[in-house]
Amino acid sequence: MRIVIAGGSGFLGRALRRSLGAAGHQVDVLTRRPRPGRTDELAWVPNGSSGPWARALEGAGAVVNLAGEGIADKRWTAARKQALLGSRLDATNSLVKAMAELTTPPGVFVSASGVGYYGPTGDAVITEAAPAGHDFLGEMARAWEDAAAPAATHARVVLLRTGLVMGEEGALAKMLLPFKLGVGGRLGSGTQWMPWISVDDWAGLTARLITNDAARGPFNLSAPNPVTNAEFTRTLGRVLGRPSIFPVPAFALKLALGELSDALLTGQRAVPEKALALGYTFRHATLEAALRSVLAPA
């Protein structure tokens, strides 16, 4: 089928493009900065309204919405939090409004979200049936998903509640330097859960959700074996062959990052109940396998 990805120039978007292209799908991308000469890239302005770019959606088999500013790129000031929320709502509203205007709307709308939807949940095992949290990430994710909901009038809607993606870019890349220098370690107590997924499984599962008509509603895009932060740091140190014995105190994170530190010091023991019920088999079911696939490929 022909699939349109909004926000397809980022880390996850590129991974999904490769996966879908390898499966024989035609992939077009909506991006703020299309590269010269690329007929598969179309400029768009995600401002909450439709625009000339909407013609790319006409007759497409699927639209995937990955647009939004990076959660951990900057300290969370009031202005930054508004920018994070606004970038997600504007992009989603633009796509939903555009689809409502089409003669032949896409058959499926796949929209990004995050496991932060659930808020801090301690040691409880979290499936897709759990309610939204009341912290900033929980309320933002709920608003993001609510913005996607009207698309159900025109298309099957799938929501991607993504965990930490283990790949050559993204969250893992930001963690590597202290470990490579031999000064890595747990964050705070280390007891907070970290739902993770390999980039290969993220792309593979997303592709499955696009093409499987039985897939509807929210899905936890996380591996079946979440780990605590302490276990994560031990495993990362082992894969890199470096020590992981230098913890970062919670107060130091709070001083350095402010409210953003809450996202690092709390977590969710999220599991992919619906993906497993759909029959998806994870290529990397354990963290060590996922890390070795990225950091020490065979």
Half-sphere exposure of 206 (CA within 13 A, CB side): 35
Residue 298 clears pLDDT 80, i.e. is over it: no
Higher pLDDT, 221 or 171: 221
Query: Stretch 163-172: mean pLDDT, rounded?
Result: 93
198-254 residue pLDDT tens? 999 999 999 999 999 999 999 999 999 999 999 999 999 999 999 898 999 999 999
Q: Rounded to the nearest 5°, which phi and psi values hold at 197?
A: -155, 145
Count other Cβ atoms within 10 Å, centred on residue 255: 10
Look-up: residue for tokens 């879908």? 20
Query: Stretch 151-172: mean pLDDT, rounded?
Result: 95
Mean pLDDT estimate for the chain: 95
* Spatial contact of 179 and 236, defined as CB atoms under 8 Å apart: yes
Share of the chain above pLDDT 70, in %: 99
Residue 37 clears pLDDT 90, i.e. is over it: no
CATH 3.40.50.720 fits 2-167+197-224+270-284, yes or no: yes
Q: pTM to 2 decimals?
A: 0.95
* Spatial contact of 110 and 62, defined as CB atoms under 8 Å apart: yes
Sorting pLDDT into bands at 50, 70 and 90, what band is 71? Answer: very high
90-140 residue pLDDT tens? 999 999 999 999 999 999 999 999 999 999 999 999 999 999 999 999 999
From 166-180, 216-230, 272-286, the region with the lowest mean pLDDT = 166-180
d(CA 91, CA 7): 9
Query: Stretch 44-71: mean pLDDT, rounded?
Result: 95
* Full DSSP string of the chain: -EEEEETTTSHHHHHHHHHHHHTT-EEEEEESSPPTT-TTEEE---SSS--GGGGGGTT-SEEEE-----TTSS---HHHHHHHHHHHHHHHHHHHHHHHT-SS--SEEEEEEEGGGG---TT-EE-TTSPP-SSHHHHHHHHHHHHHGGGGGTSEEEEEEE-EEESSSTHHHHHHHHHHTT----BTTS-SEE-EEEHHHHHHHHHHHHH-TT--EEEEES-SS-EEHHHHHHHHHHHHT------B-HHHHHHHHGGGHHHHH---EE--HHHHHTT---S--SHHHHHHHHHS--
Residue 172 clears pLDDT 80, i.e. is over it: yes
Residue 297 pLDDT: 66
Query: Stretch 145-161: mean pLDDT, rounded?
Result: 97
* Spatial contact of 188 and 255, defined as CB atoms under 8 Å apart: no
* Full DSSP string of 89-156: HHHHHHHHHHHHT-SS--SEEEEEEEGGGG---TT-EE-TTSPP-SSHHHHHHHHHHHHHGGGGGTSE
